[in-house]
Amino acid sequence: MKDVCVPRVLVSACLLGQPVRYDGRSKGIVSDWLAELGAEGRVLAFCPEVAGGLPTPRPPAERQGESVVTESGLDVTTEFDRGAALALALCQQQGIRFALLKEGSPSCGSGRIYNGRFEGVSVAGEGKTTALLRRHGIAVFSEDQLPELASALSLAVNGTGA
């Protein structure tokens, strides 16, 4: 059984420097604090799009309602849904209750996603993985919410959090 006093965090692999984004790049490690969590073994890197079967690099995709399509109109919803399901299964198997996911992504966006018209315009919304994790009680944060994630982890360690 995992030590519940030391919560682990599912983290978008691109935020940990892995080149898994659609353009074949990473975002780099977004903070020293995140690097420290990783060094403590409290971070599990995951890319739902790659896990769902999409290559790197891959055409950009955006949500259009419940579907996810590329700019050329290819429907990649199945791969996005598969990646989301695998992320949830991993969280459930590992007892993970927190996720740090890449804002704006059609998989990982937690507050903003692109509008589905490939105009570079973001709108309020969430990605497929974020939506599924939240439906199952997993708290999802973006890289812009590191203080909030740190607070939630602190509360969980002290026995008063999620």
Q: Tell me the per-residue pLDDT of 66-111, one tens digit each, with 9 for 90 and over.
A: 999 999 999 999 999 999 999 999 999 999 999 999 999 999 999 9
Q: Is residue 103 within 8 Å of residue 148, measured between CB atoms?
A: no
Count Cβ neighbours within 10 Å for each residue of 48-59 and write b for 16 or more, e otherwise: bbbbbebebebe
If one counts every other C-beta atom within 10 angstroms of the C-beta of residue 91, the result is 23
Question: In percent, how much of the chain has pLDDT > 90?
Answer: 83
What is the structure's pLDDT at 160?
56
Distance CA 140, CA 20 (A): 20
42, pLDDT greater than 90: yes
113, pLDDT greater than 80: yes
| Residue 148 tokens, joined | 């909030």
pLDDT band at 5; cut points 50, 70, 90:
low
Distance CA 38, CA 8 (A): 9
pLDDT band at 157; cut points 50, 70, 90:
confident
DSSP strand E in the chain: where? Answer: 9-12, 43-46, 61-64, 67-70, 98-101, 112-114, 122-124, 139-142
Question: In percent, how much of the chain has pLDDT > 70?
Answer: 94
Distance CA 73, CA 6 (A): 44
pTM: 0.92
What is the structure's pLDDT at 27?
82
161, pLDDT greater than 90: no
